């Protein structure tokens, strides 16, 4: 009997990848807090996850010149509207970005724990416990 990791791990690997990408975006926002004209960006997490779950259903290419499906985060990138406008056009608010980054880090850690528990269950099954 073979183990299909896609079905065994469920949605958690996709969630982990999305959390990683969102963390990169939020870190870039904080790094550019003093850059004039920089627009704070974030991911629309729900819509990206929904799209990735639809792409998880493998599509067969019936002809060689058909396009392969790609996972793109750019279509779901949103720009944050600041509560306090900056004179230089920068929309990064450090306190908001730090809070969003901390929230994302906690959710990333939770996804890692979910994957860890899935692997623990698989290991128990393999050992016959």
The neighbouring-strand residues paired with 41 are: 79
Q: What are phi and psi of 34, to 5 degrees?
A: -105, 10
CA angle 69, 71, 76 (to 5 degrees): 130
Percentage, residues of the chain above pLDDT 90? 40
User: Cα–Cα distance between 57 and 78 in angstroms, integer?
Assistant: 26
> pLDDT tens digits, residue range 8-34?
677 888 888 889 999 999 999 999 999
- Model confidence at 69, in pLDDT bands (50, 70, 90)? very low
Split at pLDDT 50, 70, 90, the class of 1 is low
Q: Where are the alpha helices (DSSP H) in 41-93?
A: 45-55
Q: Where are the domains of the chain?
A: 11-58+65-124
> What residue has token string 């880090």?
105
pTM of the shown model: 0.73
Least confident piece of the model among 32-41, 46-55, 80-89, 108-117:
46-55
**With bands split at pLDDT 50, 70 and 90, how would you rate the model's confidence at 53?**
low
């Amino acid at each position: 009997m073979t183990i299909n990791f896609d079905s065994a791990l469920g949605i958690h690997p996709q969630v982990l990848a999305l959390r990683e990408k969102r963390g990169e975006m939020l870190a870039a926002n904080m790094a550019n807090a003093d850059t004039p004209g920089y627009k704070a960006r974030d991911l629309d997490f729900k819509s990206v996850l929904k799209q990735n779950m639809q792409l998880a259903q493998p599509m067969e290419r019936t002809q060689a010149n058909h396009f392969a499906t790609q996972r793109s985060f750019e279509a779901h990138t949103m720009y944050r509207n600041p509560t306090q406008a900056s004179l230089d056009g920068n929309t990064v608010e450090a306190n908001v970005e730090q809070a969003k980054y901390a929230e994302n880090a906690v959710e990333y850690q939770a996804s890692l724990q979910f994957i860890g528990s899935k692997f623990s269950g698989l290991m128990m099954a393999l050992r016959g416990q």
